[in-house]
Structure 1
Amino acid sequence: MPTPDFVLELREKIGTHPLPLVGVTAVVVRDARVLLGRRSDNGHLTPVTGIVDPGEEPADAAVRETLEEAGVVCRVERLAWVHQIPRVTYDNGDQSDYLDLAFRCPWVSGEPYPADGEMTEVGWYELAALPAEVSAEMRRRIEVAVQDEVPARFEGGR
């Protein structure tokens, strides 16, 4: 996965120290199916995810990432979940703390394909029969996003 230029610039200044970033998960739904792709960096089957660029609205980032990674146009219907992902330490020692914003995104147009190389395969999967290889964390994001008429869920706030 290519690292955004702004992250590389920050890394030049802070090295491998923890970097707080805002990420998005676009749970794109079409009828009773969800868009999933196999990540090229680790082989995991996930919804579209990505990093919000500086000054970018998070909902716009979800739409942009979906088009860039899967060739699919979607729209954001609602914010479904806000949660902090446990610190990620990459093989090179870089550390990142992601605040993830998961959005429910209805499909608008386009047939999925691995558009920019961040996914090796992309397709529609039945919500009622998600593959076992979809992680518990990603299943949770999907489940929260596909619930109808539920306000956004926020972790913490205790």
Structure 2
Amino acid sequence: MPIPPYVAHLRTMVGHDLLWLPGCTAVVLRERGDGCSGPEVLLVRRSDNGEWTPVGGIVDPGEDPHVAAVREVLEETCVVAEVERLVWVSAEAEVRYPNGDRAQYLDHTFRCRWVSGEPRPGEDEATEVGWFGMDDLPPMQQRFLDRIARALEGPAGVRLGR
């Protein structure tokens, strides 16, 4: 995964110390086209660890989190999506990267709808991209399953915290 230039610049000043960074997760949904009921969710297989996840990324300085979510979907999957609503805000656990960098993310999870485009890996952040029915999700971390479940709930308020 490429490091955003501003994070690389911060690293020149703080080394491997903990960085607090805004992040976003886009749970992109579309109605199934195969006659089955229920939506499909857009997932990516990450190139850094091989895990399946919803689309996610770091919010750039001055960028609104919902704008970052749409940008990340387009960059990583070549799909155009539109944010429907914010569904969850949470402070994630600290991450330690193989190079020793430490980061912690304030994640903004958005329910998004597919607008156009057929998924394919965009940049080098994903090796595979695809639509999955809720009954056919690949193995993934519980926190991502929870975000998908939250996005599927009715228009309740935003969930705060883990």
- Tell me the TM-score normalized by structure 1: 0.96
Q: Which residue of 2 aligns with 1:40?
A: 47
Q: Which residue of 2 aligns with 1:20?
A: 20
Superposed structure 1 runs of 4+ greater than 4 Å apart: none
**Secondary structure at 1:115 match in 2:** coil
Give the distance between the partners of 1:128 and 1:146, measured in 2 at CA. 13
Asked if residue 107 in structure 1 is aligned to residue 114 in structure 2, the reply is yes
Q: Which residue of 2 aligns with 1:78?
A: 85
Matching residue within 151, 154, 158 for 2:160 = 154
Q: Which residue of 2 aligns with 1:5?
A: 5
Asked if residue 135 in structure 1 is aligned to residue 141 in structure 2, the reply is yes
Structure 1 residue 145 displacement after superposition: 1.2
Q: Which residue of 1 aligns with 2:105?
A: 98
Superposed CA RMSD in Å reads 0.9
5+ long unaligned stretches in structure 2: 32-38
**Secondary structure at 2:98 match in 1:** coil
Counterpart code for 1:33: E
**Secondary structure at 1:2 match in 2:** coil
Structure 1 residue 102 displacement after superposition: 0.4
Structure 1 residue 91 displacement after superposition: 1.0
Give the distance between the partners of 1:83 and 1:8, measured in 2 at CA. 24
Structure 1 residue 135 displacement after superposition: 1.4
State the identity as a percent: 52
Residues 49-64 of structure 1 mapped to structure 2, 5 A cutoff: 49-64=56-71
**Secondary structure at 2:83 match in 1:** coil
Give the distance between the partners of 1:128 and 1:80, measured in 2 at CA. 21
Give the distance between the partners of 1:16 and 1:57, measured in 2 at CA. 26
**Secondary structure at 1:150 match in 2:** coil
Counterpart code for 1:105: C
Structure 1 residue 128 displacement after superposition: 3.0
Q: Which residue of 2 aligns with 1:123?
A: 130
